[in-house]
Amino acid sequence: MRAFATKKLVRLTVLACVVAMALPLAVHAEKSERGHRGDRARTFLVLRIAEELDLSDEKALKISGILEKASEQRRALRAERDALAPQLESAVAAADEAAITDLVTKAREIDRKILLVVADSFAEVDGVLTVVERGKLALLLPQIQDQLRHGGRRGRRGDREERRDRGRTE
């Protein structure tokens, strides 16, 4: 049993190195903090998916590439959305209803595109996985999303249960 756990740990370590190398080698110094968090989140996501679904390194790398491409698309769309903010602030300050209407419509269209990028990327990931792996991923994603939202912890409910259980044993 121990040999299996050690083998799995070595495999995950190698996979983490491979995924890290597969990420763009030229990370720009001017990259925003949001971008760095996104890279860490994507690496965490790929490693967690690979581990839980027991994926081959090849599949993990394909998934990493898909999520990297989606991340770049989302970054570009967010930059486009952020560029609208000063214009919208000026329009609101001037109470220019026509400009506000136009800018809000543009902002919502960009938001819609961002959501589609996420949905499309997971549809593409599904193409890499078997039916059983897709089912496992569908069960796993809510847990991963909760961990990402709460800084790698189990989430609010999990933390509360953990504290409650700790109180019983102490």
CA distances from 72 to 69, 76, 137, 142 (A): 5, 6, 22, 23
Q: What is the pLDDT of residue 106?
A: 95
Average pLDDT over residues 145-162: 59
Q: What is the DSSP string of 82-144?
A: HHHHHHHHHHHHTT-HHHHHHHHHHHHHHHHHHHHHHHHHHHHHHHHS-HHHHHHHHHHHHHH
pTM of the model: 0.62
Average pLDDT over residues 148-160: 56
pLDDT tens digits along 83-108 = 999 999 999 999 999 999 999 999 99
Banded pLDDT at 163 (limits 50, 70, 90): very low
Q: To 10 degrees, the CA torsion angle through 77, 78, 80, 83?
A: 180
Banded pLDDT at 42 (limits 50, 70, 90): confident
Q: What is the pLDDT of residue 29?
A: 35
Q: What is the pLDDT of residue 3?
A: 62
List all residues 6 or more positions away from 36 whose beta carbon is below 8 Å from its beta carbon: none
pLDDT over 90 percentage in the chain = 46
Q: What is the pLDDT of residue 21?
A: 41
Q: What is the pLDDT of residue 145?
A: 78
Q: CA 111, CA 122: separation in Å to the nearest integer?
A: 17
Structure token pair of residue 6:
């050690």
28 dihedral zone (left: phi>0; alpha: psi -120 to 50; beta): beta
Is it the case that residue 14 has pLDDT exceeding 50?
Answer: no
Q: What is the pLDDT of residue 147?
A: 76
Q: What is the pLDDT of residue 17?
A: 42
Banded pLDDT at 149 (limits 50, 70, 90): confident
Q: What is the pLDDT of residue 146?
A: 82
Nearest CA to 38 out of 77, 85, 80 is that of: 77
